Amino acid sequence: MRQQWWQRTRAVPIPEPEDSILFRVLTQALVSVGILATDIAAETSLSLWAIPLSIVGATWSWHRRHDRNIPTKFALAIGMLVALATFFVNLVGNRELNDTRMVLVELLIQLQVLHSFDLPRRKDLGYSMIIGLILVGVASTLSQTMTFGGLLLVFLAIALPVLVMDYRSRLGLSRSSVSKSSPTKLTLRRINFSSLPFTFVLTLALGLSIFAVMPRFAGYQLRSFPMSPQIRLQGEFNNRQITNPGYVRNGARGQGRTGQAAGRARNGEAGQMDKTFYAGFGDRISQNLRGELEPKVVMRVRSQAEGFWRVQAFDRYTGEGWELSKNDQTKTLKRSEWSYQFYLPQVTRLNKTKEVIQTYTIVSELPNLLPALTQPKELYFPTTEVAIDAEQGLRSPLELSPGMTYTVVSEVPYRNRTWLQRAPSEPPKGDQRYLQIPPTIAKKVRQQTKEILGKSEKPIESPYEKALYLAQYLKQQYTIQPGLPLLAANEDLTEAFLFKYKGGYPDHFSTALTVMLRSIGISSRLVVGFAPGQFNPFTGLYVVRNIDAYAMTEVYFPKFGWFAFDPIPGHALIPPSIEEDQTFSVLQRFWQWVAGWLPSPVAGVLNRVMSAIVQWLAIVLAWGAGLFSRGWVGLFIGLISATCLGFLGWLSWQGWQKLRYRRWLNKLPPMERLYQQMLSWLAAQGFRKHPTQTPLEYAKQAQEVQRGDRSTIEAISQAYVSWRYGGEPPNLRELQGRFRAMKQIKNQVRS
């Protein structure tokens, strides 16, 4: 029995192997790029063992490609079952319950390494190509830097010849003609490598063009919540403590650190600011600091909308800085062990809001304060406890360290200027702390504020318009002064800013505006956070640096909440908000980059044209979305409209094709033009000339199909050959007449 089974096994023909070394090498390179891309994007080290072992397997399989390799196949099958079992174990025991991509990546890499030991056939190489493509796709979702862009270009450059060789292998072109002495000679010679660079550039250009014009609908994005693995804390969470590495505490830099940091300010005291960390974060801050920050990236943000990444707000003005008067009222929030979700307290407002999801990845050390868009409602964070202070600032039990990731879901309010103009200037729930200013400067600042408001051409009544006017006035009449000396003892920051120096550091503008608004009875506070940062259209991330941190003024409007105003020169008066359409954000940013290289007059004209195009596209898309949201009637109207637009597009395409064809005919010699017209007409009749046929061969075959027109077809074809290859002048008038008569007879027969 055993001998019979073995004989039947040996009688089964061996699958025809793939003999192209180049095809195998390029496929292996393709998969290696995919493994390396996931390694770099996820910051792992899988490629250190997977790539060398895969190369060893591919080399071994090449030398054994003509053997049955039955023991090897059994061993590989067992290895794949073990890999599959490991996959399910990791999937069930995965601590990152919301992100199983790396578990899938590990499985695919393990299968590829095992699979590399048995690659005899073309379709087996196809499996490896698919694995490489999946790995690159996963890396694109994990990557946060432009390093992935370089690997993607390498992947594309390898993929093009691999696809060509795969197609040739499917057709059997390389196998049928390969010699045993040189299995790669014919394959290399038959592939037109000179056309691959052009194909590469064309593919890249088309991909970037589609990427630029593709609309970005925030509502259509996948609702996934990336986050770091859970962190187990040691000790009790002190929710009142804010640890800013930029301050010196008790002679040490940051909380719980050792070593001296001479010359730097303690928490809330005057001195020299740290060159790395923004000093505006803490339970008490001093704005009597001098120095400049050295730029460095602190975090990357993926958000459905651009905005001010709010960190915290201050309510008590100290004369040279700010502090939290109700830091002892900070509340600790706990979540369950099986869910990473925190539900944050919400206040009901009259505003229309929009849900915006943001994911923050920390790049360098930050305080234990969590940046987030205004009015966060859900938090996905890797600790079991967080805290929220009286000013809606979020706190972590520990400092934010590099590599940490968390997600926030915010209900961002729309800024309706008409509604806000009608809002009174009442403090929230009668809370007078948002009107607090030192008595020594209150009268002087109030008088100055009223004088500034009196300069307006029209009386300003609403608190909203007063805040806008004062912010704009500070931008225009006061200047940034980086060389400002330290304040003298008992000297007030706002008083020195308004009357002595006529300017100051950027954050001083926001402090002055806050105090001026308070002096006339408008509730306000100082808010600190990060500007959106630099948007990278290729990664879809906002790259935020420490120099993007600054302070603004938040003003309270009863029943509507807090809204920010930015008085700093060079900044927009109103911070970025959800009112700005983000559908074609990549196209807009790409155009801004291009416009920066053009002369100002040309850029101005083209800017207006580009803005009109983007607005028109946004209106069309909004109209279409509105139709599809009106039930069945809107659905049918939308489908009919789309069909009509498609038909008009088809008509336009046909018209353009005819115009292009006529222009091409007009450039041809008369005899060539007549011959091409005949070919086009015959093709419309269902008889198309094959590229390998000569004119006389085609004429002979056409006579058998077009029996009534054989003499005309033969005459035009013979005249074309005599003119083209013999230089004999044709009788064009007679031939053109016969061609017109032939078409008329055909039309009469049809009618």
Radius of gyration over every alpha carbon of the chain, rounded to an integer in angstroms: 36
Q: What is the pLDDT of residues 656-700, one digit of tens each?
A: 888 888 888 888 888 888 888 888 888 877 778 877 788 888 887
Of 453, 616, 602, 601, give the one whose Cα is nearest residue 521.
Answer: 453
Question: DSSP string of 470-514?
Answer: HHHHHHHH-EE-TTPPPPPTT--HHHIIIIIISEESHHHHHHHHH
What would the two tokens of residue 162 be? 């691999």
DSSP strands (E only) in 74-187? none
User: Would you give the distance in Å from CA 362 to the centre of its chain?
Assistant: 17
**CA–CA separation, 746 and 598 (whole Å):** 58
Task: Tell me 566's DSSP state.
Answer: -
Tokens describing residue 649: 């597009």
Give the Cα separation of 671 and 729 in Å (integer): 9
Query: Are the C-beta atoms of residues 695 and 720 closer than 8 Å to each other?
Result: yes
Is residue 350 scored above 70 in pLDDT? yes
Q: Give me the numbers of helices (H) and strands (E) for the chain, helices first please.
A: 22, 24
CA distances from 500 to 438, 481, 569, 722 (A): 18, 12, 19, 97
Torsion of CA 35, 37, 42, 43, to 10 degrees: 90
Q: How far apart are CA 516 and CA 504, in angstroms?
A: 16
Q: CA separation (Å) from 539 to 147, 228, 365, 587? A: 10, 20, 22, 14
What's the pLDDT band for 621 if we cut at 50, 70, 90? low
Judged on CB neighbours under 10 Å (0-12, 13-18, 19+), 632 is exposed
Q: How far is CA 511 from the centre of its chain?
A: 35
701 vs 391, higher pLDDT: 391
Gap between the Cα atoms of 647 and 652, Å rounded: 9
Whether residue 335 is predicted with pLDDT greater than 90 in this model: the reply is: no
* Both tokens assigned to 579: 């009112």
Q: Which residues, 6 or more positions from 273, have their beta carbon under 8 angstroms from its beta carbon?
A: 246, 264, 265, 279, 289, 290, 291, 293
| CATH class, 427-536+548-587 region | alpha beta
Between 471 and 595, the higher pLDDT residue = 471
Mean pLDDT in residue range 238-250:
72
Decide: 510 and 551 in contact? Cβ < 8 Å: yes
Predicted local confidence at residue 657, as pLDDT: 83
In angstroms, the CA 525 to CA 430 distance is 15
pLDDT tier at 248, thresholds 50, 70, 90: low
Q: What value does the mean pLDDT take over residues 53-58?
A: 87
Q: Please, which pLDDT band fits residue 715 given cuts at 50, 70 and 90?
A: confident
| % of the chain with per-residue pLDDT over 70 | 78
By residue count, the chain amounts to: 751
Flag whether pLDDT at 550 surpasses 90.
yes
Is 70 exceeded by the pLDDT of residue 34? yes
**What is the distance, to the nearest Å, from the Cα of residue 257 to the centroid of all Cα atoms in its chain?**
38
Residues 264-316 have pLDDT tens digits of: 455 556 577 788 889 889 888 988 888 888 999 999 998 888 899 999 999 99
| Distance, CA of 715 to CA of 693 (rounded, Å) | 17
- Higher per-residue confidence, 299 vs 744: 299
User: Quick one: pLDDT at residue 529?
Assistant: 95
Q: What is the full DSSP assignment across 457-477?
A: SS---SHHHHHHHHHHHHHHH
Return phi, psi of residue 204, to 5°: -65, -45
Whether the per-residue pLDDT at 729 is higher than 90: the answer is: no
Q: Is residue 549 within a helix (H) or strand (E), and if so which, with residue range? A: strand 549-557
Note the pLDDT of residue 180. Answer: 45
| Residue 591 confidence class, pLDDT cut points 50, 70, 90 | low
Distance CA 736, CA 751 (A): 23
Mean pLDDT confidence for 9-33:
77
Say whether pLDDT at 126 is over 90: no
pLDDT digits (tens, 9 = 90+) for 405-438: 999 999 999 888 888 888 887 788 778 899 999 9
CA angle in degrees (0–180, nearest 5) for 431-435-438: 130
- Per-residue confidence (pLDDT) for residue 452, from 0 to 100: 93
Please tell me the predicted confidence (pLDDT) of residue 628.
55
pLDDT at 409: 92
Please tell me the predicted confidence (pLDDT) of residue 301. 92
- Which candidate, 149, 122, 148, places its Cα nearest to that of 27? 122
Answer left, alpha or beta for residue 599, where phi above 0 means left and psi between -120 and 50 means alpha: beta
User: In terms of Cα–Cα distance, which of 179, 197, 199, 204 is closest to 189?
Assistant: 179
Residue 182's pLDDT is: 47
Arithmetic mean of pLDDT, 315-340: 89
Alpha helices in 143-269 (DSSP H): 147-171, 173-177, 185-190, 196-213
Q: What is the pLDDT of residue 291?
A: 84
The pTM score is 0.68
Residue 311 has φ and ψ, to the nearest 5°, of: -110, -55
- CA proximity to 366, closest of 565, 231, 548: 548
The arithmetic mean of pLDDT across residues 184-198, rounded, is 60
DSSP secondary structure of 91-108:
HHH-S-TT--HHHHHHHH
The residue written with tokens 């890797």 in the block is 382
pLDDT score for 185: 43
Q: Which of 141, 119, 140 is nearest to 128 (CA)?
A: 119
Q: Report phi then psi at 733, rounded to 5.
A: -60, -45
Residue 504's φ and ψ, nearest 5 degrees, are 170, -155
**Which helix or strand (DSSP H or E) is residue 356 part of?**
strand 353-362
* Domain residue ranges in the chain: 14-213, 248-419, 427-536+548-587, 668-750
Mean pLDDT of 19-34: 87
Q: Beta strands of 205-296 (E only): which ranges?
A: 248-249, 252-253, 271-272, 284-286, 289-290
Tell which wins on pLDDT, 483 or 212: 483
The pLDDT assigned to 619 comes to 64
Q: How many CB atoms lie within 10 A of CB 391?
A: 20
Quick one: pLDDT band at residue 23, thresholds 50, 70, 90? confident
Give the sign of the dihedral formed by CA 574, CA 576, CA 582, CA 584: positive
> Is residue 228 over pLDDT 70?
no
Out of 215-224, 374-383, 496-505, 514-523, least confident range: 215-224
pLDDT above 90: residue 200: no
**What average pLDDT score do residues 626-634 get?**
60
Q: Which two three-digit tokens encode residue 231?
A: 């962190």
Least confident of 19-28, 416-425, 620-629: 620-629
When pLDDT is cut at 50, 70 and 90, the band that residue 120 belongs to is low
478-506 confidence digits (pLDDT tens): 999 888 888 888 899 999 999 999 999 99
Closest CA to 37 of 109, 124, 91, 127: 109
Kindly give, in sequence order, each residue whose CB lies less than 8 Å from that of residue 700, ignoring residues fewer than 6 positions away.
Answer: 714
Give the mean pLDDT of 438-465.
91
- Measured distance CA(708)–CA(741) in Å, rounded: 12
**What average pLDDT does the structure give for the chain?**
80
Query: Do residues 38 and 107 touch, judged by C-beta distance below 8 A?
Result: no
For residue 373, name the pLDDT band (cuts at 50, 70, 90). very high
